[in-house]
Structure 1
């Protein structure tokens, strides 16, 4: 089954068709073809945590319902696993490679799972507490994931919804400030040096994950240190989520003009989707950054900027 990632603006374009506001043209054709491909099991368009948060942020219930309904139809309530779960499995394989062991091959599309809650660490069955993992499994057994998503998005407590988005916005602003500060520090640096600096920071930020997975694969922190600094660089290269983030962040830093919170959200979505999807359809800016970094070649993913480019692909 083909896995398709659509950025939020593309979902909004499809929602206009779903609501009857767009009644002709390529968006209508693509809308019909995507629905048919999902119904026949050829395609799925999973959601990310960013999709869920962005859609939830829409204050107008009718507008939110239009987006939610088309997302539910094309995703069938499936999502990409949480960042932590993806990182731990990716790190396990990267450590096997670092020590010359045979990496374990996860099943195809292992990052695509049912139940919107699994996009978040707390309810991802790979990394949640036993109690929360049991809750997630129970929900997915008892309630169709597609219905779960629609029900939650249309009936969640409004005060809690607004509070969650306020906290998410604050976190995004803080990350944006850190990237802006690094832009000044790294001014004039080569792209390779920028990547290495950001990769080193990511490694330090995730030392706890690395130590845990070293124990899982039967090696120690001391053994990792003996491999040397270049082995750390290679390790980050072999962890797709971290490598994509470092490649995109390094290129964001050299962009002219101030960065926006949406840049951070797009970067998080690309870190999720590029290693896990067969095709991305997103705005030109980040598609250009991904192509500059040759991420499409590295992860064998097709990159598009327009929904119209999907015409005929899934027939």
Structure 2
């Protein structure tokens, strides 16, 4: 089964076909083939946390429902797991390899999970508290994941939804401001130096996680450091989510012009999807950044700018 990630604009294109607004052309012909291929188990289009948030923030009830229906049909309610859970698994495996330990073999598509809640760390089965874990498993056992997602998008309390979206916007604005501040400080630095700076900051941000995992494996941070600087630098590249984030963030910060919340969401989508997808279809700028970093060849993913690139696929 192929895993394909779509950025939000591509979901909107498909929703226009689903709604009947677009009745002809390549995308209109493609959409029913994609729906059939999903039903046959040939392909799946899991959602990212960015997809979920961008759909939820739409204030127009009709457009939000149409996009959610489209996403439910093609994702079947499956999502990319939370960032924290992915980093936990990836970092543990990377550390084990550094000490010559064979990492635990994970199931195929382990980073894809049923139930939109699992895109968020507190409700991800790999991270949730025992009580939350029981609640998540109960929900996914009683309600089809696609129906659960659609119900959430259509019936959630509007006041609470708007409040949540306002907090999201505040958080994104703060993150953009933080990135802009870093851009200003390192404006004269080369791309390679920016990458090193961001990588160092990434390690600082994840030091608690690193220490906890190292200790759980029976080692100390000194044991890891004793392996040498080159090993420590290589460790970051062996943690896919962190590696893609560093590469995308470095290029995002080096671009000209003012950054927006959408730029940050694109970055989040790419470090979520690239390591665990067969194909990523997104906007030109983000695709170009990923190609410049050679992330497509490193992770064996096809990067596309148009849904029409799927037109030759999934023909019965």
TM-score (norm 2): 0.97
Contact 1:5 1:279 in 2 (8 A): yes
Equivalent residues in 2 for 1:232-247 (5 A)? 232-247=232-247
Task: Report Cα offsets for 1:34-57 as digits up to 9, x if no partner.
Answer: 111101000110011111110011
Q: Secondary structure at the match of 2:5?
A: strand
Partner of 1:285: 285
Q: Secondary structure at the match of 1:103?
A: coil
Q: Distance in 1 between matches of 2:194 and 2:313?
A: 37
Structure 2: stretches of 5+ with no match in the other structure: none
Partner of 2:21: 21
Task: Report Cα offsets for 1:71-129 as digits up to 9, x if no partner.
Answer: 00000010111111101000011101222322333121111110111111111111000
Q: Secondary structure at the match of 1:215?
A: helix
Deviates more, 1:296-305 or 1:155-164: 155-164
Deviation at 1:229, TM superposition (A): 3.3
Partner of 2:72: 72
Partner of 1:312: 312
Partner of 2:295: 295
Q: Secondary structure at the match of 2:275?
A: coil
Q: Distance in 1 between matches of 2:314 and 2:94?
A: 33
Q: Distance in 2 between matches of 1:240 and 1:63?
A: 34
Partner of 2:59: 59
Q: Distance in 2 between matches of 1:182 and 1:228?
A: 28
Q: Distance in 1 between matches of 2:204 and 2:278?
A: 30
Deviation at 1:220, TM superposition (A): 1.3
Q: Distance in 1 between matches of 2:58 and 2:139?
A: 25
Q: Secondary structure at the match of 2:276?
A: coil
Contact 1:196 1:233 in 2 (8 A): no
Contact 1:33 1:312 in 2 (8 A): no
Partner of 2:202: 202
Q: Distance in 2 between matches of 1:190 and 1:228?
A: 25
Q: Distance in 1 between matches of 2:284 and 2:92?
A: 33
Matched positions, count: 315
Partner of 1:260: 260
Deviates more, 1:181-190 or 1:283-292: 181-190
TM-score (norm 1): 0.97
Contact 1:79 1:114 in 2 (8 A): yes
Partner of 2:36: 36
Q: Secondary structure at the match of 1:62?
A: helix
Deviation at 1:244, TM superposition (A): 0.4
Q: RMSD of aligned C-alpha atoms?
A: 1.1
Task: Report Cα offsets for 1:220-253 as digits up to 9, x if no partner.
Answer: 1221222333332211111111000100111111
Structure 1 229/169 Cα, relative in aligned 2: closer, same or farther at 3 Å? farther
Deviation at 1:277, TM superposition (A): 0.7
Deviation at 1:187, TM superposition (A): 1.9
Structure 1: stretches of 5+ with no match in the other structure: none
Partner of 1:274: 274
Equivalent residues in 2 for 1:78-157 (5 A)? 78-157=78-157
Contact 1:172 1:261 in 2 (8 A): yes
